[in-house]
Structure formats: C-alpha cells, structure tokens
Amino acid sequence: MTSTFLNQVTTRRRGRRLCRDERGQSAVELAVVLPFVLLLLLGVMDFGKAFNYWITESQVTSDTARHLVVTPSMTSISAVKTYALGDISIKQLHDNATVCVGFPNGTENIGDPVKVTIRFSYAWLPFLTQIGHVSSFTLRRSATMRLEQTSTFSPVVQTGDGTCA
C-alpha cells in the first residue's frame, strides 16, 4: 500500500512539473509573432522603395522641364521621352514610366508655362497579389516652368491643365 501511495504522489508531482515546464514556449511565441514582424519589415522596405521612385521621378521631371524650356532643339515628344528616360537609373521605373508634356495656357510663346508630368503605377508588396486585395497606386510628379526661348515643340498630349490624358 505504501508503494502504491508513493507511486501516486510521484506521478502527481511529475504531472505538476510538466504543467509548469516552459520549454518550447519561446518557439511557439516566435511562430506566432514572426509573420507579422516580417510583414512589417517588408512593408517598411517597400515604402522606402516607393519613396525612392517618387524622389527619382521628382528629380527627372524637374530636370526634363528645365531642359525643355531652355533647349530649342527639343521638337518632339519622343525627344523629351528619350531625354527623361535617359535620366532614370531605376530599371523598373525606366521601363514603365509615362512621360507627358503640355502647355497649360495652350500657347507656346516665351514666358508661357510648360508642364512635364511623369507617371508610374506602383504595386505594394507584389508577392502578396496571390492573396488578393493588394492595391497599387500611381506615383505622379509634375514640374511647370516658363519657356525661355521660342518653342517649335508640338506635344502629342496637350490638355488644358498640361497633365497626362
């Protein structure tokens, strides 16, 4: 009877120790938290990439507009696109950017504004498109400057406000 009683007490103690044992707890917590931390990290990196594209668009748009207003040899939309895309060093942005030129006043006299716009459709975390509900947005930068020389430029896209059609 004594040995049976001791076996029961030993079994209860062992059971209590197993219930209080915390080995493996950190592995479970890591498995629960890691996907959220990785998604946050990748989201921050993707935001940095989008911001880099936006800054590049801004610089290229201003440079292209300045070149257009001071260079009378720019006579076609293809020349402007070639010049603008030549400034873009990011391959994805270079291959998919849309360059538009317009005269907001509708005239091309000295002192009239010229508006150059660059658009690019950016998809957030593209590897998540299989899951669904991941949206994209359009990065759009424009620069408006005044003509300093008489222009012979005839833009393909010429809207009232000088934006891309």
Which pLDDT score, from 0 to 100, does residue 7 have?
Answer: 65
Q: Among 4-8, 50-54, 108-112, 155-159, which stretch is predicted with the lowest mean pLDDT? A: 155-159
More reliable by pLDDT, 127 or 17: 127
Question: How do residues 24-83 score in pLDDT, each as one tens digit?
Answer: 888 889 999 999 999 899 889 999 999 999 999 999 999 988 988 887 676 677 788 888
More reliable by pLDDT, 106 or 120: 120
In percent, the amount of the chain with pLDDT more than 70 equals: 72
Is 54 strand, coil or helix?
Answer: helix
Q: Residue 18's pLDDT band (boundaries 50, 70, 90)?
A: low
Average pLDDT rounded to a whole number, residues 140-163: 67
Give the start-end residues of each E strand in 109-154: 113-123, 136-146
Does 15 have pLDDT greater than 50?
Answer: yes
Region of residue 126 (left: phi > 0; alpha: psi -120 to 50; beta: else): alpha
Which pLDDT score, from 0 to 100, does residue 156 have?
Answer: 47
Which pLDDT score, from 0 to 100, does residue 163 have?
Answer: 44
Residues 6+ apart with CB under 8 A from 58: 141, 143
Residues 6+ apart with CB under 8 A from 108: 147, 150, 151, 153
Q: Residue 165's pLDDT band (boundaries 50, 70, 90)?
A: low
- Surface-to-core class of residue 13, CB atoms within 10 Å of its CB (0-12 exposed, 13-18 middle, 19+ buried): exposed
